[in-house]
Structure 1
């Protein structure tokens, strides 16, 4: 199957962001809905992606070879990933988020830490979405108290973070 330039670029996004979901691709591709994402995947990239047991979108090994893009998540064994490629906001979240031996933080606490450390002003939903994306990638864990709280799933020095453009 020959892919258009747009399809190759979008396939590269799937490889880079995996594991991902429709909403993340919708935002990246500037589409109107998650169903548009699903329709595009089925019509243009059907041979190059699959959904895992958690219904998250992943690229096939062939897709990664075809677009020559590093997967967004790399693991050296069955444990948490040793390297992730994430958007700038998620890179900043990883820098301010509590470590694995520290008390987990609420979304609002992470938001305040971001504002203080980086002079940025994301909204709560952006921070929540970033934390959930990092959780799906296995580098952040959630602890449920009165509200969900988050912390790193591993020591900061055991994770290499690359900011995606």
Structure 2
């Protein structure tokens, strides 16, 4: 199956962001709804994706080969906000942080000024990728699930800013 330039670009996003959710692709692709994402995936990329046991969207090995992207477990490809979260969040042996604590760290240590919902969403996406864990207390708190030195983080271009 030959893909259009748009479909190949979106397949690259899918491979890079996996595991991902409709909402993350919706934001990335500037679509109106998760339903639009699902419809696009089914109509244009059906052969190249599947949903895992947690209903997260994953690319097939053929998709990664087609776009020429390494999908090693030590590579985490994330949007800018998530990359900065990884820079400031507590390490695996430190006390975990609340969403608000991570938000304050981002504002103090970077030039970003995200809202609470963006930070919460970013933390949940990083949890889906297995690099952040949730430690449940009165409120959910977060910390790295792996050593910072063991991560190779690649920041994806933001298509909205491009």
Corresponding residue for residue 110 of structure 1: 102
Matches within 5 A, 1:1-165: 1-71=1-71, 74-75=72-73, 82-165=74-157
Deviation string for 1:82-116 (max 9, x for gaps)? 22111111111011100101110000000000000
List alignment gaps of at least 5 residues for structure 1. 76-81
Could you list the structure 1 runs, at least 4 aligned residues long, displaced by more than 6 angstroms after superposition. Answer: none
2: CA distance, partners of 1:29 / 1:95: 26
2: CA distance, partners of 1:6 / 1:83: 24
List alignment gaps of at least 5 residues for structure 2. 158-162
Q: Is the contact made by 1:114 and 1:120 (CA closer than 8 Å) also made in structure 2?
A: yes
Question: Alignment RMSD, CA only?
Answer: 0.9
* Deviation at residue 145 of structure 1 after TM alignment: 0.6
1: CA distance, partners of 2:46 / 2:111: 41
2: CA distance, partners of 1:118 / 1:2: 42
Which TM-score applies when normalising by structure 1?
0.92
Which TM-score applies when normalising by structure 2?
0.94
1: CA distance, partners of 2:10 / 2:77: 16
* Deviation at residue 133 of structure 1 after TM alignment: 0.6
2: CA distance, partners of 1:155 / 1:43: 39
2: CA distance, partners of 1:64 / 1:25: 17
* Deviation at residue 19 of structure 1 after TM alignment: 0.4
Number of corresponding residues: 157
* Deviation at residue 69 of structure 1 after TM alignment: 2.5
Deviation string for 1:12-33 (max 9, x for gaps)? 1100000001000000000000
